[in-house]
Amino acid sequence: MRVVLFGGTGMVGQGVLRECLLAPDVTEVVSVSRRPLKQQHVKLHEVIAPDLAKLDPADPALANLDACFFCLGVSSVGMSEVEYSRITYELTLSIANVLVSTSPGLTFVFVSGAGTDGTEHGRTMWARVKGRAENALQRVGFRATYAFRPGLIIPLHGIRSATEWYNTVYVLLRPLVPIIRRLAPDRVTTTEQVGRAMLAVARDGYGKPVLEVPDINSL
């Protein structure tokens, strides 16, 4: 498989990248980001795009792709709905529309979040916007589109979040993680499980378009 990864510098993206580079059936990972990744690999091809809203459809790196793992995202804390929508909805759809023109047969996997509002009319701003993005992506026209809704994600293998407060919270919660996983296994996953589950749906599909934590962990 040739796959394209957006958000490879973030915590989830780092986990997905690791699993892609380890997977024998992934021949190339095209990482599209604003800044270079901090690693090199024979299977890794980087595309540096200062403005992700202006991807070049003629770029041969974006042609003949089998899957897109879209891990790009920001926290909604302190943002207005207009600002959050500009990144979470408008930028996502802009990139998706480029990819459907270059690789219409790919499987698009979008990292959403637990509690996303698929009705688009709930009271929580971020959940409405994520739900709007999920629904719009289903209409773009890819071979298949899946939304992943992880809850608490435990970073493994030395991976760190680009959001410093998340790292701080995780350090504080680390002693409690075994208890949390035992009491609420359907709310906790890991960067490794998310990455492996994304590869699984890219290979074999899944029975429904929205995957919650139990779906991710079972894959």
What φ, ψ does residue 57 adopt, rounded to 5°?
-65, -20
Q: What is the domain-level CATH number for residue 10?
A: 3.40.50.720
Q: What is the mean pLDDT of the chain?
A: 93
Query: What is the number of other CB atoms lying within 10 angstroms of the CB of residue 45?
Result: 14
Is 14 buried (19+), middle (13-18) or exposed (0-12) by CB count in 10 A? buried
- Could you please report the per-residue DSSP string of 137-163? HHTT--SEEEEE---EEE--TT---SS
Secondary structure element (H or E) that encloses residue 46, with its range: strand 44-48
Residue 186 pLDDT grade (very low, low, confident, very high; cuts 50, 70, 90) = confident
Whether pLDDT at 44 is above 90: yes
pTM: 0.92
CB of 121 within 8 A of CB of 127? no
Domain that holds residue 18: 2-218
Distances (CA, A) of 49 to 34, 53, 75, 134, 209: 5, 9, 21, 24, 29
Distances (CA, A) of 152 to 31, 181, 185, 203: 25, 10, 10, 25
Helix axis angle, 92-102 to 125-138, nearest 10°: 10
pLDDT tens, position by position, 74-112: 888 889 999 999 999 999 999 999 999 999 999 999 999
The pLDDT value recorded for residue 185 is 73
Whether pLDDT at 172 is above 80: no
Q: What is the mean pLDDT of residues 102-130?
A: 96
Tokens encoding 4: 């394209």
Q: Which residues contact 36 (CB under 8 A, 6 or more apart)?
A: 46, 48
> Which of 136, 38, 28, 154 is CA-nearest to residue 92?
136
Which of 68-77, 161-170, 209-218 is modeled with the greatest confidence? Answer: 209-218
Number of domains within the chain: 1
The pLDDT value recorded for residue 2 is 98
Sign, CA dihedral 14-15-18-20, equals negative
pLDDT tens, position by position, 195-216: 999 999 999 999 999 999 999 9
Q: Can you tell me the distance from the alpha carbon of 134 to that of 58, in angstroms, rounded to the nearest whole number?
A: 26
Residue 61 pLDDT grade (very low, low, confident, very high; cuts 50, 70, 90) = very high
Q: What is the mean pLDDT of residues 112-130?
A: 95
